[in-house]
Copies of this chain bind each other. A is one copy, B any other.
Amino acid sequence: MSGESDITAAVLVIGDEILSGRTKDRNIGYIADHLARVGICLKEVRVVGDNEQAIIEAVNALRARYTYVITTGGIGPTHDDITADCIAKALGVSNDIDPRALSLLEAYFAKRGVEATPARLRMARIPKGAKLIKNAISVAPGFMIENVIVLAGIPEVMQVMLDDVTPHLATGKKMQTATIRLEKAEGDVADIFAAHQVTYPNVTMGSYPSFVDGRVSTQLVLRSTDSSLLTVATETLTLKLKQSGLL
């Protein structure tokens, strides 16, 4: 892809429940939309289970390669919540009770009349040197350490955390998108479309077929951070398709 933001990210979804099929991920698509909107280019997603070695290996591979790594899942109070420990190990720092997180949680527990059990206080353990990410829903914070952003797995909580951390992130050029919808099969337009991609190498072009009620249609999607280039590429393609009787 060309002409895209040079600020990049990977998403690492952590959880056996996604791999077993029990829970259907709702975070990848949401984060993808969010990053595109703010001008960060999502380059890769990985899903791994609640397994220390798998998490550490993925975090280290991804943080070396992209501007940011965003993880979701595994920061709750139960024994299978091992994300904070794994991030600390991956970065070679300790993971102890953090006074800032502890005070947030103690106030929240006191207000709701729940006991600050050792399990609940697991959620106050934060890798040393991390900045806290606010959780406006259930208080237990996420955190950011170096270029690794650690968010909850529950979509509603993940979303408020993502909003909280976003103003602190570097962003680049925002990707603009244009879509041309055709009542044709991909094969009908493939040659014209491929030639058009060669003419405009700095516009990323993709073709997405669908079958709805037995009818074939295709969406041609053009993407670029340069909106005037995108307009020219879209208008000239529209003209070519009309001249060929495809639109």
Contact = CB atoms under 8 A, between A and B. Distances in A.
Interface of A: 1, 13, 15-25, 28-29, 32-36, 42-51, 54, 76-80, 114, 117-120, 122-123, 137-138, 154, 156, 175, 177, 185-191, 193-194, 197, 204-211, 221, 223
A16 B78 CA distance: 36
Contacts of A76: 186, 207, 209
B23 A118 contact: no
8 contacts: A17-B221, A20-B36, A22-B221, A43-B48, A45-B46, A78-B206, A120-B190, A154-B210
A47 to B, nearest CB: 4
Contact of A117 (B48, B80, B187): B187
Contacts of A23: 208
Contacts of A22: 177, 208, 221
Contacts of A18: 28-29, 32, 45
Contact of A46 (B44, B77, B210): B44
A175 to B, nearest CB: 7
A29 to B, nearest CB: 4
Contacts of A50: 1, 206
A24 B20 contact: no
Contact of A156 (B13, B156, B205, B211): B211
A interface: dominant SS: mixed
Contacts of A156: 211
A26 to B, nearest CB: 9
A19 B43 contact: yes
A1 B49 contact: yes
A16 B204 contact: yes
A186 B77 contact: yes
B28 A47 contact: yes
A20 to B, nearest CB: 6
Contacts of A25: 25, 28-29
5 smallest CB-CB distances across A and B, nearest first, come from: A119-B190, A21-B32, A21-B33, A45-B47, A79-B194
A244 to B, nearest CB: 12
A193 B78 contact: yes
Nearest to A80: B206
Contacts of A44: 19, 46-49, 54
